[in-house]
Amino acid sequence: MSSVRCRRTAVLGSLAALALLATNVPAVVAAAAPPVSAGASDQTFSHPTVIDNRFLPFVPGTKFVLDGRVDESPHQVVLIVTDLVKVINGVLTVVLWDRDFSDGELAEAELAFQAQDDGGRVWNFGEYPEEYEDGQFVGAPSTWIDGVDGAQAGIHMLAEPRVGTPSYVQGYSPTIDFLDVAKVFKTDKRLCVGGRCYTGVLVIDEWSPLDPESGHQLKYYAPGVGNIKIGAAGGVQQEFLDLVSVSRLSEAGLAQARNAALQLDRRAYRFSEVYQSTPPAYQMH
């Protein structure tokens, strides 16, 4: 369901480590390349804003709330599928507005851009994540956009996830040492979360080869719903979240979310040169 993601700021210990990563990045990307294609540029996007993937349906006006913790600190993620679209590298994408709260305070406000190809795969085309400390904006250093500075879109969800298929890239940006990779871990599981039980649950294992200290993140997806649970396996900062509500916004609520996302879109041009390569977001018609 959600674009809730593993925090990707790589902690690199030395110049030697940086040099090693720079040398190995192409090989790592090649090894993790999706079995279905070389990238989003090879796909056809006839109706990219209709995201109806079985495990990742993104209907405009849907609001997801996940509650839990990061280590011992209370953590909440609120994701809203807006009715905005944005062109990224020639593809019309849906704008997701994602907010992370730690101990009740805003820690990150993000715009994420996703589209579905004609084969049913959902792609990540970029992210603009603003970071906050003690309620104050401190920057957006982890911004990446497909086609800018070598960044490449990646697959968020396969069309037909099956155990045994090769791992696939979820997104890659060499300028910020960002590489997320995923693999189908389990399928057809039964899981109870937030007082509701789900069948046919898909489990995806995600990790960053450039940041081994972050460990692995397990994301659980229920058919027709999306991301219902997030767990951690290893890592220096472990996140555990459960879906506690899925709702449809009223017209007034959707308008409020749209205006907030547009405000974030406008701010991004001030703080990110990478973002300046994109045209403004606008309301879907």
Residue 256 domain-assigned (yes or no): yes
Record the pTM: 0.88
**pLDDT band at 29; cut points 50, 70, 90:** low
Strand partners, 53: 56
- For residue 2, is it within any domain? no
Q: What is the DSSP string of the chain?
A: --------------HHHHHHHHHHHHHHHHHT--TT-S-GGGS--SSTT-EEETTEEE-TTEEEEEEEEETTEEEEEEEEEEEEEEEETTEEEEEEEEEEEETTEEEEEEEEEEEE-TTS-EEEEEEEEEEEETTEEEE-TT-EETTSTT-EEEEEE-SS--TTPPPEEEEEEGGGTEEEEEEEEEEEEEEEETTEEEEEEEEEEEE-TT-GGG-EEEEEEETTTEEEEEEEES-SS-EEEEEEEEEE--HHHHHHHHHHHHHHHHHHHHH-TTGGGSPPPEE--
pLDDT tens string 94-104: 999 999 999 99
pLDDT range class, residue 85, cuts 50, 70, 90 = very high
Asked whether residue 10 is assigned to any structural domain, the reply reads no
Please report whether residue 211 resides in a domain: yes
* 5 part of a folded domain: no
Compute the mean pLDDT over every residue in the chain, rounded to the nearest whole number.
89
Using a CB cutoff of 8 Å and minimum separation of 24, what contacts does 270-274 make? Answer: 271/130, 271/139, 271/140, 272/128, 272/140, 272/143, 274/143, 274/144, 274/145, 274/148, 274/149, 274/151
pLDDT for the residue 38: 52
Asked if the model's pLDDT at residue 27 lies above 60, the reply is: no
The Cα–Cα gap between 254 and 82 comes to 7
Amino acid at 129: P
Does 88 fall in a domain? yes
Q: Is 124:156 a contact under the CB 8 Å cutoff?
A: yes
pLDDT in the model for residue 234 = 84
Query: In the block, which residue shows the tokens 């849907």?
Result: 62
How far is residue 17's CA from residue 217's CA, in Å, rounded to a whole number?
Answer: 23
- Mean local confidence (pLDDT), 261-269: 98
Give the whole-angstrom CA distance, residue 244 versus residue 43. 35
Residue 6 lies in a domain: no
The pLDDT tens digits for 182-213 are 999 999 999 999 899 999 999 999 999 998 88
Total domains in the fold of the chain: 1
Q: Decide if 165 is inside a domain.
A: yes
CB 18 within 8 A of CB 151: no
pLDDT score recorded for residue 285? 81
Residue 43: domain span:
15-283
Which amino acid belongs to residue 235?
A: G
| Residue-wise pLDDT tens digits, 156-176 | 999 999 999 999 999 999 999
